[in-house]
Structure 1
Amino acid sequence: MRYVQLRAFHHVAISGGFSKAAHALHLTQPAISDQVRRLEEEYDVALFSRQHRQIVLTPAGNRLLAVTHRLFGAEGEALELLQEERSLRTGALRIVADSVHHVLDVLTAFRERYPGIQVSVARGNTGSIVDTLTGYDADIGVLGELVDERPFEVLSLNVSPIIAFAAKSHPAATRTSLSLAELSDWPLIMRERGSRTRQMLEQRAADSGIDLPFAVEAEGREAVRAIVAAGGGIGFVSAAEFGEDDPRLVRIPLDGPPLLMRETLICLRERRHSKAIQAFFATAQAVAAGSAGSALRSAKSG
């Protein structure tokens, strides 16, 4: 008994014919017929009967099919496992983010676990990130709230309020908070259109009947940060993205109900079965669970 003979028998049995089995295995029909014939002759057993030009399994054929189902099922599982392991040893993962700050811990943990996967990170805003993912130019997006989540698999990362920030030399730097009405008195440095931070801020101002014209419109968070640090005006960012590593800048809370930015990890729902994407989402969940556990332990010890 040879593997090729069992494989030929199995495909004839599940497809219902020699020609269909030959097509599935990329062989000729005579080759398939010969393999099945040799198997039957070697063990002196009839596996198929021919009735009105149809191929029907004999009782012995049915019993053998039950065995080959297990055999080739296990083979398929083994192949899937091996391919999965290979896909996570090598490959590439493309991320586009409005701020890489939200996934720094995830990136570190992912790279430790899957060092063979090359990760590239590009910058974007909410609008461009959605376009990049739907155009298959990136695998994973990191961004604020989505207007339409239907085509995406979404994992929540964190929630933080939008704050203002200014250079320490700026006249507003000594303020404990600022209202939207007061903001209109200062030069404002705004992100480009499509930024979720800007959209939320302008919507709140419009709802309050306040005009917030920008003095400078800059593309990207780092450009806004540099202009603000040079004393150009007041900028805006989520508290989670502000950081405390730039001694030139101070944060200024905004008055009123907090404008909450919900940062999320997303991928196209139709691509959620990609092993690398699954692994990154699982890593993000593990990091979030670990952070929550650490916070709980700190609260109990305090």
Structure 2
Amino acid sequence: MRYSQLRAFHHVALHGGFSRAAEALFLTQPAVSEQVRRLEQDHDLLLFQRDRKQVVLTAAGERLFRFTKQYFETEAQIEDFLSESRAAIDGELRIIADSAHHLTDYLGQFRAAYPNITITVRSGNTNDVLDELRAYNAEIGIVGSPSPGKDMTLLDLGSARIVGFAARERVSDDLLSLSMSELQNHPLVFREKGSKTRQKLEDEARRAGITLNPAIVAEGREAVRELVASGAGIGFVSQAEFGRDDRIRQIPLEGVDLQMGESMIHLTQRADVRVIRAFMEFVARIRNETSV
């Protein structure tokens, strides 16, 4: 196995094709193809399924790609360490969050402090966040789980009460709260399985001997919000994520105190990645300053 073979494989997997990998490596496409072919031949492995339009990683290719992501990231960390005197930090920071609301206090300030870092943000439930972090497809995650796993480093972002919410025209103004048993009399809009908000609500219902059957299951918090705003039913969210929307109003849950904690996390073994370290330290400092 040669370094050049691994590098060629990694860039084909990363960029989704031999031509784009060749451009990234400043090589010809035949040269990249030959390096990957030799890697496969030397180790009797098929790493890509090839056709005229695309290349797709095989199961063996997926496993090797996960290793090469770690390998070449370690190489980048070594380079960063050896050039630590550089004042500017650059690179890409990929964030996956169960709710972007928990980032609004930090991203603008962070971008001002580190203008050379490109930030991307996408959404997913807690399971999605953990899977993407462990697959090296994101650097930072925002989750509602208080214990995401021993392989994760956690920064507590606080907690807020879970409330119901409904379209203003759907519920009367004198409906001030709803008990768990009263929820059974309304159409409910839940998020997909894997949502911590949904899990906490269902767990509390089971403890009370109640079964809550959703009328609609929607993927993602924004989809739930739009369905509820249209009058489709009652949804659930933490107060910290409720935001401002004149179409809907909060309905407190009576007799229960369901709290949704939020944490910022990353893979512990990636703690020395410069963009991760910079972001975690920045957020921790802002939280300390605002709590004084």
1:145 Cα offset (Å): 1.4
In the other structure, the counterpart of 2:85 is: 82
CA pair 173-133 structure 1, distance change in 2 beyond 3 A: farther
Q: Verify: 1:165 aligned to 2:168, yes or no.
A: no
In the other structure, the counterpart of 2:202 is: 202
In the other structure, the counterpart of 1:98 is: 98
1:139 Cα offset (Å): 0.4
In the other structure, the counterpart of 1:284 is: 283
Give me the whole-angstrom Cα distance separating, in 2, the residues matched to 1:124 and 1:169.
30
1:146 Cα offset (Å): 4.2
CA pair 173-289 structure 1, distance change in 2 beyond 3 A: farther
Amino acid across the alignment from 1:151: D
Give me the whole-angstrom Cα distance separating, in 1, the residues matched to 2:131 and 2:146.
12
Give me the whole-angstrom Cα distance separating, in 1, the residues matched to 2:228 and 2:148.
33
Amino acid across the alignment from 1:81: E
Give me the whole-angstrom Cα distance separating, in 2, the residues matched to 1:140 and 1:172.
41
In the other structure, the counterpart of 1:242 is: 242
Q: Verify: 1:143 aligned to 2:143, yes or no.
A: yes
Deviation per CA, 1:191-247, whole angstroms, max 9, x where unpaired? 01100000010011011110100000000000000000011100000000001x211
Normalised TM-score (structure 2):
0.70
1:273 Cα offset (Å): 1.1
| SS of corresponding position for 1:266 | strand
| SS of corresponding position for 1:171 | coil
Does the 8 Å CA contact 2:95/2:139 hold for their aligned counterparts? yes
In the other structure, the counterpart of 1:47 is: none
Give 1 or 2: higher helix fraction. 1
1:148 Cα offset (Å): 4.3
In the other structure, the counterpart of 2:130 is: 130
| SS of corresponding position for 1:105 | coil
Does the 8 Å CA contact 1:173/1:250 hold for their aligned counterparts? no
Does the 8 Å CA contact 2:126/2:194 hold for their aligned counterparts? yes
Amino acid across the alignment from 2:84: L
Q: Verify: 1:275 aligned to 2:274, yes or no.
A: yes
Q: Which runs of 4+ in 1 moved over 2 A?
A: 76-83, 146-149, 171-174
Normalised TM-score (structure 1):
0.68
In the other structure, the counterpart of 2:63 is: none
Does the 8 Å CA contact 1:166/1:173 hold for their aligned counterparts? no
Counterparts of 1:162-201 in structure 2 under 5 Å? 162-171=162-171, 174-201=174-201
Give me the whole-angstrom Cα distance separating, in 2, the residues matched to 1:104 and 1:164.
23
Give me the whole-angstrom Cα distance separating, in 2, the residues matched to 1:290 and 1:78.
29
Aligned-pair Cα RMSD in Å: 1.8
Amino acid across the alignment from 1:137: N
Amino acid across the alignment from 1:254: L
Deviation per CA, 1:66-90, whole angstroms, max 9, x where unpaired? xxxxxxxxxx99944225x34x1x2
Give me the whole-angstrom Cα distance separating, in 1, the residues matched to 2:143 and 2:254.
24
Give me the whole-angstrom Cα distance separating, in 2, the residues matched to 1:78 and 1:211.
55
CA pair 78-125 structure 1, distance change in 2 beyond 3 A: closer
| SS of corresponding position for 2:122 | strand
Give me the whole-angstrom Cα distance separating, in 2, the residues matched to 1:291 and 1:182.
39
Amino acid across the alignment from 1:270: Q
In the other structure, the counterpart of 2:220 is: 220
Amino acid across the alignment from 2:101: H
The total of aligned residue pairs comes to 214
CA pair 143-273 structure 1, distance change in 2 beyond 3 A: same
- Aligned-residue identity in percent: 43
Does the 8 Å CA contact 1:109/1:283 hold for their aligned counterparts? no
Amino acid across the alignment from 1:239: Q
In the other structure, the counterpart of 2:118 is: 118
Deviation per CA, 1:134-189, whole angstroms, max 9, x where unpaired? 11110010011144430000000121011000010112553211111001100000
Give me the whole-angstrom Cα distance separating, in 1, the residues matched to 2:255 and 2:172.
18
CA pair 172-205 structure 1, distance change in 2 beyond 3 A: farther
Larger radius of gyration: 1
Does the 8 Å CA contact 1:92/1:119 hold for their aligned counterparts? yes
CA pair 214-172 structure 1, distance change in 2 beyond 3 A: farther
